[in-house]
Structure 1
């Protein structure tokens, strides 16, 4: 058990995992993010443009973060697993996710490696930034880059950086424009969606399905997995400004601010603002009562390739 944060030692460590995915898993993932059953490029493997939604790259990330989370007690003093929450996320898609060949029996194997790149003081704890690279094949072709920033509460920050290092888009957050959103799309969550996402993503944390676990953690109901909420927001932006063309997606960065309760059928409203340079700023809110809303994803930015975004 660590007694002090040793940044040099932490940065020397790495974790690697291999994951496989099938056509069925890609389809299940798309459906778990609310894809329409009539949108053949997302649900029919024989469609000429069949593909996974842009945030499919968070699936191997979830797998390797299980290893990082299990090791946090080795390098964070006073670490307790229930004090670790997903705080911010960055995803850059380098090339489309490989589609398995060979029908129902086909599989693609991906290798994902994680390493801690920064630990910064944050409130009564620290923010741990984990760089995650996913590759395919023996040659190690890079598919996507993720950075998972986890807030760990009640951890002594002695040895951590006062603030985070500026690493460009990986650390940059955007304020919400004061003007009215250019587009707003909504999605009603459900308990069935939460259960489907757990199965499709492999994130089997009981906090996302079991009412007793959620109650013990101080929540009124199970929490929808944060990467699911993020995936819904990215789907909305691609639909609104790229005509549903996932090839236009380049990257996303956002803060996961508050929980979503699919068991209570929270309705998500993705508010979007078109900016120059292919940037779409966004946030996701849940409207709780007249004049009151819960911001569940904030300070988000999605970059689309070039500035040829769809007209408003």
Structure 2
């Protein structure tokens, strides 16, 4: 097997296209994984059965598989993106991932670095070259933005397209944003998603693109609304069935090697529970009113803990700011949150 091949393209023009597929069962499993008992999301015969609005965040882990997957999953590894100067490089065929000796965790996310490996069929030559962006110690999952543009079918085959949209210097590293769109085969866009990462220690790169996300300023007054939700002890065990099989969220020994006493909850599982609380409180749980949600990760959550979602109204119609605290510790686990809804009268 040959080593990784890289294709250099102009900044901002990289487009990764990966097929994804899901069915009704996937929608139900996801809804259960974020603590939903709403029949609209867990009962396929309900007249208003639909995908919960944040479901698409799992598709980039799941791909087209309907089985358990290795971590990182093939679709994640196949679309790794590195940055070098004013060019982007995409890795193609010829990859293999394994867990590195040093595992780094921040917030709710395990941050894996892919190591070189020797391919016996290739004279022992390392098949994973150093990424062009130099001195990256670790990639931190900084936040997520998800925008709903159209009703998602309850089953289907689609594709995720996108790539790196911007890279900027921040502190002792780089702040990187990846923009992806979920489309059908005809090109209709259903969702637009932004994943923000902080590349600690990154050097030898050029900034490009306009930063897509900014932090909202949280009010200093008390929140207008609060909602609590207690996570099941099995929260991460159930959520992983949607496609993110990172052992950090299940395996106690693996969690200890990463610096935790116990497995922690997936960041996007926390996102799902948060979105459910917001939608139930502010929109009667109606998926049709969901427009967009943005947040930043701040600290990890442990299965069995209680999330306290605090909500503030703004001067803009159907706009709400929010943050999430862990009741047992008082720590903020999700910060700088912003939710936009469609007005009920538009339905």
TM-score interval w.r.t. the shorter chain? 0.7 to 0.9
Question: Is contact 2:136-2:203 (8 Å) kept?
Answer: no
Once the two structures are superposed, the pairs formed by residues 1-312 of structure 1 within 5 Å of their partners are: 9-36=10-37, 39-63=38-62, 66-67=76-77, 70-72=80-82, 74-79=131-136, 83-100=138-155, 108-136=156-184, 138-156=185-203, 158-160=205-207, 165-167=210-212, 171-200=213-242, 202-262=243-303, 265-275=304-314, 276-289=316-329, 293-306=330-343
Q: Which has the higher helix share?
A: 1
1:10–1:75 CA contact under 8 A, matched in 2: no
CA separation of 1:23 and 1:279: change in aligned 2, threshold 3 A: same
Structure 2 stretches of 5 or more lacking a match?
Answer: 1-7, 64-74, 83-129
Q: What whole-Å deviation, never above 9, does each CA across 1:257-280 have from its counterpart, x for those lacking one? A: 111122xx2211110112222101
Tell me the equivalent position of 1:3.
none
| DSSP 3-state at the match of 2:234 | helix
Decide which structure has the larger Cα Rg and report it: 2
In the TM superposition, residue 283 of structure 1 has moved relative to its aligned partner by 0.5
CA RMSD of aligned residues (A): 2.4
Deviation at 1:69, TM superposition (A): 6.5
For structure 1, the residue ranges without an aligned partner over 5 or more in a row are: 1-6, 101-107
SS of equivalent to 1:28? helix
Q: Please give the TM-score of this superposition, normalised by the length of structure 1.
A: 0.83
Show CA shifts across 1:14-55 (max 9, x none): 32211111111100100110001xx22111111110011110
Residues 1:211 and 1:154: Cα distance change in structure 2 (over 3 Å): farther
CA contact (8 A) 1:173 1:301 kept: no
Give the Cα–Cα distance (whole angstroms) in 1 for the partners of residues 135 and 333 of structure 2: 28
| Inter-partner Cα distance in structure 2 for 1:295 and 1:282 | 11
Number of residues paired by the alignment?
281
TM-score, normalised on structure 2?
0.75
Contact kept, 8 Å, 1:125 with 1:152, in 2: the verdict is yes
CA separation of 1:35 and 1:147: change in aligned 2, threshold 3 A: same
CA pair 224-232 structure 1, distance change in 2 beyond 3 A: same
Q: CA deviation at 1:11?
A: 2.9
| Alpha carbons 2:81, 2:164 under 8 Å: kept | no
Conserved? CA contact 1:61–1:146, under 8 Å: no
- Indicate if the aligned counterparts of 2:173 and 2:202 stay in contact, CA closer than 8 A: yes
**Contact map agreement 1:61 1:132 (CA 8 A) in 2:** no
1:103 is matched with none
